[in-house]
A and B are shown apart, each in its own frame.
Chain A
Amino acid sequence: MAVDAWSEKALVSITKIGGTDVEFCTKTTSIDISGGGQDTETVRTFCGDITRLNPQEPFEISLDVVPVYADDFDSIYFGGTDTTQPLEFTAGTSRDKYRVVILWTTDTTVTSATAATTAGEEAYRLIFAECYAVSFDKTYDADGYLQGTITFKCSAKDKSGDPNVAVQSDDGSGTGLAALNPYTSTTKW
């Protein structure tokens, strides 16, 4: 059965370069993806117009999240390698590259945004590699709960001109989406 619209569920996976994929669907309440604009500019000549293609703008991925501990999202934003409780991450430690993957699928067996989907199931996956966490804002109201917005930014291409962003989908007639490779300095997905 064809999906009319993706709703309710999405899988969100965030991976530090050279690290493990961590699934954040249980801590994410909203996803907002913007940027990537590829504007054009008109150059007037005496006879007519020339259309000049502008470089593609960076992408921004904002996730509304529910932070509970320092290693949920602060560790992504601040950097650092503390692995022993109690944890501490300090500002200006390091800025690491991250891969953010978002998956919508009808395959209920899938529990990771980077996993393969079964043939016959529908799926839609967005992949953003070489991202940096550029902000992590938190708000807390007396009648609410501690919530945060972490924003990642990535250029459309790397310095070699290879893409940092990919979109994959299967309408159920294909073999399913393949599992992503580990995110390393040489492999983005």
Chain B
Amino acid sequence: MLEGDNMGKYKVTNISQQTVVIYDGKDRIELKQNESAEVDYMPEPTSRLKIERIDKKAKDKEKEVDKNGS
């Protein structure tokens, strides 16, 4: 089990020259330079990774719909 509780949907891009390995639960994802992957857990932020939360927009939209609906 990875540490922390940053669950969500994230797009992670390796912006460094070195290959990095991120873990999505127990799954290993090797990212070479400029490669990206979508994971359900936010890896520890480092200067090597560009981390974008991609389910946030969807959540915000949901909220907007709720607002409009009520």
Contacts and interface: CB of A to CB of B under 8 A. Distances in A.
Nearest to B14: A20
Given A20-B20, A20-B23, A112 B30 contact: yes
B18 interface: yes
Contacts of B26: 181-182
Nearest to A71: B47
Interface string A71-82: 100010000011
Interface string A7-28: 0000001001011111110110
Contacts, number: 72
Q: How large is the interface on A (under 10, 10 to 19, 20 to 34, 35 or more residues)?
A: 20 to 34
Interface residues of B, number: 23
B18 A23 contact: yes
Contacts of A19: 43-44, 46
Given A184-B3, A185-B3, A20 B30 contact: no
Decide if the interface of chain A is mainly helix, strand, loop or mixed: loop
Interface string B5-22: 000000000001111111
A146 interface: no
Interface stretch (A34-42, A83-91, A126-134, A137-145): A83-91
B22 to A, nearest CB: 5
B15 to A, nearest CB: 10
Given A179-B28, A181-B26, A182-B2, A26 B43 contact: no
A169 interface: no
Contacts of A18: 2-4, 44
7 contacts: A18-B3, A22-B16, A23-B21, A24-B18, A71-B47, A83-B46, A83-B49
- Closest 10 A/B residue pairs (Cβ): A21-B21, A182-B23, A23-B19, A71-B47, A19-B44, A18-B3, A83-B47, A83-B45, A20-B20, A20-B22
Interface of A: 13, 16, 18-24, 26-27, 71, 75, 81-85, 87, 111-112, 114-115, 179, 181-182, 184-186
